[in-house]
Amino acid sequence: MRVAIAGAGLAGLSCAKYLTDLGYTPIVLESRDVLGGLVAAWKDEDGDWYETGLHVFFGAYPNMLQLFKELGIEDRLQWKQHTMIFNQPEKPGTYSRFDFPNLPAPFNGIAAILRNNDMLRWGEKIELAKGLVPAMLRGQKYVDSTDRFTFSEWLKQQGVGDDVEQGIFIAAAKSLNFIDPDEISALVLLTALNKFLQQKNGSQVAFLDGSPTERLCQPMVDHITARGGEVKTNAPLKEILLNEDGSVKCFLIRGLDGKSDEVVTADLYVSAMSVDVMKVMLPSKWKQNEFFQKLDGLEGVPVINIHLWFDRKLTDIDNLLFSRSKLLSVYADMSNTCKEYANPDRSMLELVFAPAKDWINKSEEEILKATLVELETLFPQHFGGENPAKLLKHHVVKTPHSVYTATPGCQKYRPSQVTPISNFYLAGSYTMQPFLGSMEGAVLSGKLTAQAINAQAHLEAKTSSKPTQTLQPATNAATA
């Protein structure tokens, strides 16, 4: 059975990978000349990589880790020391650490909090515990019920003060959804806390040993094509053409460089495009359907990713860092954290500029200038004096619509992977799955779409007299 998939991000490639494992023949169609979608990366004229975002992998990502194992590329994940490192704006150039000892969860997390004395006073530790205990003990049903509150509102209900919110949770909110606690749904933070704290290594991070495009996406393509599938770049979806009954007739692919448009037909069709693109591509006939109308409640959050190459080492820290600055959320010195980007003499900082809604339309020069001002606080020893660090080059990557903006009430707008259209499915981290807008959510959504397609095929086989091949179900690591 042939399945056409629009979009070669993690969701589309994951869907295709699991479909090939089930015996289907997918064809993945990507509009750009690069794989990866929201994890895409490019090489500049010097051979240096720059990416759409600062991509880190967590121990609490079961489906992503299972995917690495299935592809035989587990060694490409570079696991870092299990710690969370925060800049201290009140003490420029210094760090506060939450080191997780080798204890079972959640005791390792409790120990990490209790042993931190330079960022949290005892009263604040007690307040922090008030915010963590409900996430760990009251279950997912309770967590789901908090989608009607912002995280700031929820913290106040728990008696957690502004100092703890400002000190820890602003950084956490911006790293998870690129917005502040007074905007983000409490559901997002509580879900993350629940998953990170319930597993011994849940919050431990890993970096890829190279770019996501080459080190993760390409192995997925190799897996797909080795089993008879196809992956085509420079194949932008122009229109979803329908049959009279409203089902999909074909995907019309826009011809580039003077070529004619191409018709791609299949037995089934999947959109693995972002929710913002999907809304634009919706056929007018489908817009009358309540299922698709709900997509109007979802919108991608703007994100800016900044890469800065300097003439010297600014830090030797080999891990993710939380900046706690007004404009930056998280950053890393990729010359330390990533094997392919390694440089013993010079730093390449990759920083996430968030919230970005007021900056996404500003010039690169304005964004760069504001970032360098923040860096003077993060690294005062390198930007003061007679010999300040010299910026050698930079790249600014703007994504006007990234993962869906997870504000209160968004859960009710997130669709299932199965649509009312008999031969059309959705994949993407915005679709309903427990890992929200993340790389793990994208991979899981693709897997769930493949499972839904396979389940429907089995159901139809049972009601048909025609023989059908036996297909083995994919494993969902989130529930296995």
Check whether 195 has a pLDDT greater than 90.
Answer: no
The whole-chain average pLDDT of the chain stands at: 93
- β-partners of residue 309 are 348, 393
Instruction: Specify the pLDDT at position 478.
Output: 45
CATH class, range 2-36+213-297+415-464: alpha beta
User: Does residue 355 have a cis peptide bond before it, meaning omega lies within 30 degrees of 0?
Assistant: yes
Instruction: Specify the pLDDT at position 407.
Output: 97
Check whether 467 has a pLDDT greater than 70.
Answer: no
- Give the rounded percent of residues in the chain with a pLDDT score beyond 70: 96
Tens digits of residue pLDDT in 78-107: 999 999 999 998 898 899 999 999 999 989
Do the Cβ atoms of 445 and 5 come closer than 8 Å?
no
CATH class, range 300-404: alpha beta
DSSP secondary structure string for all residues of 325-368:
-SSEEEEEEHHHH-STT--SS--EEEEEE-S-TTTTTS-HHHHH
- Please tell me whether residue 318 adopts helix, strand or coil conformation: coil
Check whether 221 has a pLDDT greater than 80.
Answer: yes
Mean per-residue pLDDT for 435-442?
Answer: 96
Each domain of the chain, given as residue ranges in start order, spans: 2-36+213-297+415-464, 96-203, 300-404
Classify the phi-psi angles of 189: left when phi > 0, otherwise alpha if psi is within -120 to 50, otherwise beta: alpha
Going by pLDDT thresholds of 50, 70 and 90, the confidence category of residue 468 is: very low
The helix or strand, by DSSP H or E, that contains position 275, with its residue range, turns out to be: helix 275-281
Tens digits of residue pLDDT in 122-177: 888 888 777 777 767 777 888 899 999 999 999 998 888 888 888 888 988 999 99
Helices (H), 92-169: 107-114, 122-137, 139-145, 151-157, 162-164
DSSP secondary structure string for all residues of 2-35:
EEEEE--BHHHHHHHHHHHHTT-EEEEE-SSSSS
Instruction: Specify the pLDDT at position 102.
Output: 96
- Give the rounded percent of residues in the chain with a pLDDT score beyond 90: 80
The pair of structure tokens assigned to 234 is: 């420079």
pTM: 0.94
- Please tell me whether residue 402 adopts helix, strand or coil conformation: coil
Check whether 470 has a pLDDT greater than 50.
Answer: no
* Integer CA distances (angstroms), 249 to 45, 254, 399, 415, in order: 42, 16, 32, 22
Instruction: Specify the pLDDT at position 134.
Output: 72
Q: Give the CB-side neighbour count of residue 40, counting CA atoms within 13 A.
A: 18
